[in-house]
Amino acid sequence: MNNLFDALVQFGPDLVKATLDTLLMVSATMVSAALIGTPLGVLLFTSGSGGLYPRPLLNRVVGYIVNVLRSFPFIILLVILIPFSRLVVGTSIGPKAAAVALSFAVIPFFARLVEQNLRDVPRGIIDMAQACGASTRTTIVKVLLAEAMPALVGSFTVTATGFIAYSAVAGAVGAGGLGDLAIRYGYYRFETSVMVWCVVIMFVLVQGTQIAGGWLARKIDKR
């Protein structure tokens, strides 16, 4: 036990910085998921057969791109994206660079979840909107996304918790963050106490995200 508290004093600043780095990486990643993954999921759904606006060729092309991105082992995606990260955020190392790679991983993943959530909206609701004379845009925003919102919040929460853990892998490109700290100190340098603290903090982050997401989803779910 003493070891644990000694470690807290000795590595406190490192732990704080690592926590902030993790939060930065995951926040940036989830902003990408929301801003790019959501519209991509809508596109996958609406352009699919039986969608609002079937475009089989477009659907297939986007589907392939999404699947290709999802097939990459994350560590390889990280390395491939080094030049791109340099272009976008001006650096190929650190949390910002890792956020670029994490975004590439999260966008296709979240898009598929969004697609599935929209698929689960009863078909009759779409018929109703069409029968009222709603435009495609209105149907997507006020009907599809609005009806799927509790499920979307759930998907977003699951994705966020998953990517808190995932961000640890980004330590491989010197991303920093809790996972990185746990590996460098805890694993390579046998500072088990540091590793324990990292895992504890990550647990708090995951748990907090899950509780907040669950609460929000329940609050907006009127079914």
Partner 1 sequence: MIELSQVSKRFQAGGKVIDAVLPTDLTIRSGEVYGLLGFSGAGKSTLLRLINRLEEPSGGSVRIDGQEMVGLTGDALRQARQRMGMIFQQFNLLSHRSALRNVEFSLEVAGVPASRRRARAREAMAAVGLSDREQSYPAQLSGGQRQRVAIARALATSPTILLCDEATSALDPHTALSILRLLQQLNRERGMTIVIVTHDIKVANYLCQHCVVLERGRVVDRIDMAAPQPQSLLGKFFFETAKGWTDQTVLPQEET
Cβ(98)–Cβ(173) under 8 Å?
yes
Site size for partner 1, by CB under 8 A? 21
The reply to whether 191 sits near partner 1 by the rule CB under 8 A is no
Cβ(6)–Cβ(79) under 8 Å?
no
Binding to partner 1, residues 108-127 (CB under 8 A) = 122, 124-125, 127
Task: CB nearer to partner 1: give 186 or 213.
Answer: 213
The reply to whether 196 sits near partner 1 by the rule CB under 8 A is no
Closest CA to 39 of 124, 144, 132: 144
Task: CB nearer to partner 1: give 89 or 134.
Answer: 134
Q: State the nearest-atom distance from the C-beta of 129 to partner 1, in Å.
A: 8
Q: State the nearest-atom distance from the C-beta of 186 to partner 1, in Å.
A: 45
Output the CA–CA distances (angstroms, integers) from residue 173 to 26, 69, 79, 95, 204, in the order listed: 16, 19, 8, 9, 25
Q: Which of the ranges 25-33, 107-115, 138-146, 187-195 carries the binding residues for partner 1, by CB under 8 A?
A: 138-146
**Whole-number Å distance between alpha carbons of 16 and 13:** 5
The reply to whether 20 sits near partner 1 by the rule CB under 8 A is no
Q: From the list 16, 132, 204, 212, which residue makes contact with partner 1 (rule: CB under 8 A)?
A: 132
Task: CB nearer to partner 1: give 6 or 127.
Answer: 127
Q: State the nearest-atom distance from the C-beta of 84 to partner 1, in Å.
A: 39
Task: CB nearer to partner 1: give 90 or 223.
Answer: 223
| Alpha helix segments (H runs only) across the chain | 2-32, 38-47, 56-71, 74-80, 82-89, 94-119, 123-132, 136-138, 146-166, 178-181, 192-220
Residues with Cβ within 8 Å of 196's Cβ and at least 6 positions away in sequence, in order, are 4, 7, 186
Q: State the nearest-atom distance from the C-beta of 22 to partner 1, in Å.
A: 33
The reply to whether 138 sits near partner 1 by the rule CB under 8 A is yes
CB atoms within 10 A of CB 192: 14
Contact footprint for partner 1 (CB under 8 A): 122, 124-125, 127-135, 138, 142-143, 146-147, 149, 220, 222-223
